[in-house]
Amino acid sequence: MNFADMSLRRKARLLILRASKALGLFRLAKALTKKKLRILCYHNFAVAGIPEWEKLLTIDARSFEERMTYLAKHGYTVLGLDEGVDGLDSGALPDLPTVITIDDGWFNIKRYAHEILKRHGFPYTIYVSSHYSKHQVPLFNISIQYLLKATRKRTVRLDGLSLPFDANIDLSDEASANETRDRLIDYGHTRLNPQERRDFVLKAAELLEVDFGPLDHERAYHFVSASEIRELVADGVDIQMHSYRHVWPMERERALKELADDRAYLEPLAGKTLHHFCYPSGIYDESQFAYLTEANVKSATTCESGHNDADTHEFALNRFLDSDDIHPLEFEAEMTGYLELMRKLRQPLRKLTA
């Protein structure tokens, strides 16, 4: 992350964090929160050249290595998800307990992250949306976003894709481009089967004059396959549920089907019954907790920042979403508990000003 490219607000935040660390507040926070469970959340991994729009959900493998080295050098006890959740229930957690989770099931987890975690001896969990593992095609929405960002053309006609709407795209108009992007993604998800979506992406790449071949060949936007999940499990990786189609419906029957379909695919590969769940995109409602209880789910993780203790609901576990967009100092502030204490201090202030 280039300091010169940051906004003034972001620079001010980092200056405050540096001052707080120099004053010993990070060390104090670490002592005060040493029994709180930290859960880290990652998504995709890459090496160099991460597009700006992907940085919120992707981390450079070298930065990830630095994060894991930090944990190892500064006394964080990395636990498996089962052990972390059980420790919350029993109150028997070691100092600085930390769980590492990775969402979705991207192939780059196996390519880049696995060996780093294995080298450090860190257990970790992958929450897999198994539809994209079963159907080995590039993730449609991410691929379409990439193509529209990568093309150098400003106006494009996609007549060759036989779309049921105007296929004229003006990429110089951000609002229009975003609307067309969303319509393309919706069309692919609702009207095309997995193989048709792959063909659509390749044809769109041709029309947009973007070389998608290397990304397709390297499976940059693919998920791990069934055989690769088996390999990871054999190497000690914990596999858990993330819904079958990466959706979490409000309707009971549809939500239970997402869990059942995910389990049906993953449990034979994992060789065990799965009891942990991660909300797709971190979106949930407390009314859905009853569905998880009915499905014999033990825990569910969110994308809400914060540490966890005995008072945290087992279906609303907090996680810190780490990515290439996070400065190392921000990572340290979160892990030591400094940012957690700042959130707690702000809560009464928000109530007074509400």
Q: How many CA atoms lie within 13 A of 54 on its CB side?
A: 23
Count CB atoms within 10 A of the CB of residue 281. Answer: 11
- Least confident among 21-30, 50-59, 330-339: 50-59
Mean pLDDT computed over 133-153: 92
Question: What per-residue confidence (pLDDT) applies to 339?
Answer: 97
Beta-bridge mates of residue 99: 39, 79
Residues 6+ apart with CB under 8 A from 54: 44, 46, 324
Q: Is residue 1 predicted with pLDDT exceeding 80?
A: no
Q: What is the pLDDT of residues 66-92, one digit of tens each?
A: 999 999 999 999 999 999 999 999 999
On whether the 33-135+223-323 domain is CATH 3.40.50.150, my answer is no
CA distance 27 to 179: 47
Mean pLDDT computed over 288-296: 98
Residues 6+ apart with CB under 8 A from 98: 37, 38, 39, 40, 71, 76, 77, 78, 79, 335
Let me know the angle formed at the C-alpha of 73 by 70 and 278, rounded to the nearest 5 degrees.
50
Q: Give φ, ψ of 247 to 5 degrees.
A: -140, 155
SS3 at position 348: helix
User: The whole model's pTM is what?
Assistant: 0.92
- Where are the chain's structural domains? 33-135+223-323, 140-218
Q: Please report, for residues 43, 114, 240, 315, the alpha-carbon distance to residue 102 in angstroms, rounded to integers and kept in the order given.
A: 5, 11, 10, 17
